[in-house]
Structure 1
């Protein structure tokens, strides 16, 4: 394959431009220990959507040095077309190898929504032949985030497996947390919450001990909260019974399945969740991909006092740095994190932290590559070929549609864009 002189990629060119989302061509200069990959597919992450909407604000000119914008995209899968000088990988990769990976969340000058992407060879993972590029590129960024929450922030270890609670198990990160924790021996138990029935079934397939389902569809003025044990079924048996409690809600018991109903407008609290009702706080780590006040409160009630840790993916660091710059925004974020830590300790006697992806963690890279190769780690991908009336997401021109799909809760799975051959 010929080495390309120019690369077409998507950039955000500045908050004041009329056309903020642009295509641009750049000269390709490969550095030492870098690898040039022809992108065959890339995924669309919430971070990309936030950047595209301009949340970096006035910090944008400082990110790109006034030289034409910042790149979009973090995950990719593709084919190596050129290797830079240096042998940091011990000759692991060659031209023509199919690989996948992610770039750093803090690398805004690079982007994977492009024809080609330059990456450090230590960030590359070999793509198994059984996976398509579409399937492979959906994994890395979510997996790096999950690993960081478990190991870096949650401090879980194979020598002392933990009881882990995952809020939003049906999300890409939630799925990766469950799979990595169970397959790597980091967890003795994983319990996950999930919304739609399809996501609850996904968590059961992953092998979590219990799935707590929240069906937010309102029917006859009520919202349902479902709790599934290991042997729960998707429908109630004819022998179910109904009982009322003092709050006006009712519960339907059928085998291992319990359903409690909360009237519309009633505050949803941890008391509605069976993992709090049935036992004393017993979880070591709670990882929250939802980031609501409700999930934070539920986690506080479910975590062990003194030793439990709550980790949320919805920290304010990126937003504050984007709005105020590295120094001022970083200082504001540090103060906000300290305030949250102090409140969590004083109010609930638990730890508190923010979780972020770290694509520069080579231990994470090695583990993710191993789990993917063995078939233990995967992420559900949205089937755009079946459900998109305008056709599948193909090429850079389809990114705008992909962003819209990302914000549509009815789309099941990771949003991925394939590049034409």
Structure 2
């Protein structure tokens, strides 16, 4: 049965490219046309952590004068940020990782000058309260508590307010605080995209499938474990000895300690797998695909791809050509061996978060928060994230839900 969310979203998508309302004013210098948004009445600046150039932690700068987000399209909402989650991607983006591709996504026609993305606000996870809705938003209203994963080409959540698309946002789980909720959206939609969209798994076909997660104690890994166990899969993970008890507490069936020696040896002794989710990369491709059941539709899905690195180094056109050649060569090489090689990517999705919300409220998935920082401690939060080996997510508390909207 088609849900209300699906009906509303399908109608909103038809209006997605509808131009925003404009109003024209006449001054001594002639007519001036500007985007109309009622959010302009709220003020023009807000507190935020920004970067003005790519670099190390020293480029992070706190300002009370960041530009207030404006609704430019009728399917957008303004969210008052209560909590923001950090991800390894934020550290990469701070240093310029993916800058070429993200700049093209922000400005496809290359109209703006180089560096026009600055000041740039990082942060991909948000949990907060809707303070304003665009003209075409029907599924949400002001005052709704929501969560979302923000695409990396948009301004992020390390700010008092952020704008997101109605197709990216979802009602927050009622059972979670904003701090807990901010630990889930980005890793959840990344894992969902890899396992469901790319891997073809679902709650209806996952029972008794054997899944291997390489790198199971990080944000994506901890979410994937819980999702797959809720769907009835048999889950094996690799992690350090220190994290073994932690991942077992999430319900995994078998753990291989990578600090005890090469993991390919103990993994090769196990029954072969239906799907492998690779969060590690490196030389794992050399041996991991041999762990799959051949000629059974088995898939290897890696989240560690050279796509952004290629476009950063070679430019958009040459980088995309190199990327296409690489993935095609690898896919063909392994297809003749009876297994499917795939790349997985983050994909923002409000409907996916709707389903995940229901699983959270049903007690099937819980947030895994490594550490919480105050808004004034964003540089320290990045330092913690850079150290790696985190078990779960780093969350920054921006404001309290009871603050004046």
* Length-normalised TM-score, structure 1: 0.74
Counterpart of 1:35 in structure 2 is 77
The superposition leaves residues 192-229 of structure 1 with CA deviations (integer Å, 9 ceiling, x where unpaired) of: 222143x3223222222222233x2xxxxxxx2xxxxx
Q: 2:52 aligns with which of 4, 7, 13?
A: 13
Question: Structure 2 vs 1, CA of residues 147 and 410 (structure 1 numbering), >3 Å: closer, same or farther?
Answer: closer
Q: Distance in 1 between matches of 2:309 and 2:235?
A: 30
- Give 1:399's aligned residue: 378
Matched, 1:372 2:360: yes
1:86 to 133, 136, 149: 136
Give the Cα separation in 2 of the matches to 1:121 and 1:334: 32
Superposed displacement of residue 57, structure 1: 5.2
User: Whole-Å Cα distance in 1 between the matches of residues 68 and 299 of structure 2?
Assistant: 46
Residue in structure 2 matching 1:414, options 374, 383, 393: 393
8 A contact 1:270–1:301 mirrored in 2: no
Is 2:280 aligned against 1:290?
A: yes
**Superposed displacement of residue 144, structure 1:** 0.5
Find the aligned partners of 1:314 and 1:39 in 2 and give their Cα distance: 30
Pair 1:150-2:142 in alignment: no
Deviation at residue 172 of structure 1 after TM alignment: 1.1
**Structure 1: how far apart are the matches of 2:192 and 2:99?**
29
Q: CA separation of 1:297/1:13 partners in 2, compared to 1, >3 Å: closer, same or farther?
A: same
C-alpha displacement of 1:19: 7.0
1:265 paired residue number: none
1:160 is displaced (CA, Å) by: 3.0
Q: Which runs of 5+ in 1 are unaligned?
A: 217-223, 225-261, 263-267, 385-392
Could you tell me how far 1:83 is from its partner in structure 2? Answer: 1.7
Residue correspondence of structure 1 range 227-242 to structure 2 within 5 A: none
Report how many residues are paired: 347
Decide which moves more: 368-377 or 14-23: 14-23
Q: What displacement does 1:5 show?
A: 3.3
Task: Tell me, in whole angstroms, the C-alpha distance in 1 between the residues paired with 2:282 and 2:84.
Answer: 28
Provide the secondary structure at the position in 1 that maps to 2:162. Answer: strand
Q: CA deviation at 1:365?
A: 2.4
Any conservation in 1 of the 2:226–2:365 contact (CA below 8 Å)?
Answer: yes
- SS state at 1:37 partner: strand
State the superposition RMSD in angstroms. 2.8
Q: Matched residue of 1:352: which SS?
A: strand
2:254 to 185, 206, 210: 210
Give distance in 1, aligned partners of 2:374 and 2:123. Answer: 15
Aligned residue number for residue 110 of structure 1: 155
State whether residues 394 and 420 of structure 1, in contact with CA within 8 Å, keep that contact through their aligned partners in structure 2: no
By how many angstroms is 1:131 displaced? 1.7
| Residue pairs, 1:193-208, within 5 angstroms | 193-197=238-242, 199-208=243-252
Q: How many Å apart are 1:278 and its aligned residue?
A: 4.2
Unaligned runs of 5+ residues in structure 2 are 1-38, 401-405
- CA deviations on 1:292-317 (whole Å, 9 max, x unpaired) are 31x33442232111332111111011
1:368 to 1:128, Cα distance in 2 relative to 1, 3 A: closer
Deviation at 1:149, TM superposition (A): 1.1
Distance 1:323 1:133, change over 3 A: farther
- Sort the Cα spacing of 1:127 and 1:15 in 2 relative to 1 into closer, same or farther, 3 A: closer
Match of 2:288 in 1: 299
State the Cα distance separating 1:410 from its structure 2 match.
5.6
Instruction: Sort the Cα spacing of 1:205 and 1:74 in 2 relative to 1 into closer, same or farther, 3 A.
Output: same
| Offset at residue 124 of structure 1 (A) | 2.0
Deviations 1:159-196 (A, max 9, x none): 4323211111111101111211222x3x5322222214
Instruction: Provide the secondary structure at the position in 1 that maps to 2:309.
Output: helix
Cα distance, 1:362 vs. partner?
Answer: 4.4
CA offset digits 1:36-57 (Å, max 9, x no partner): 1111111111111101012245
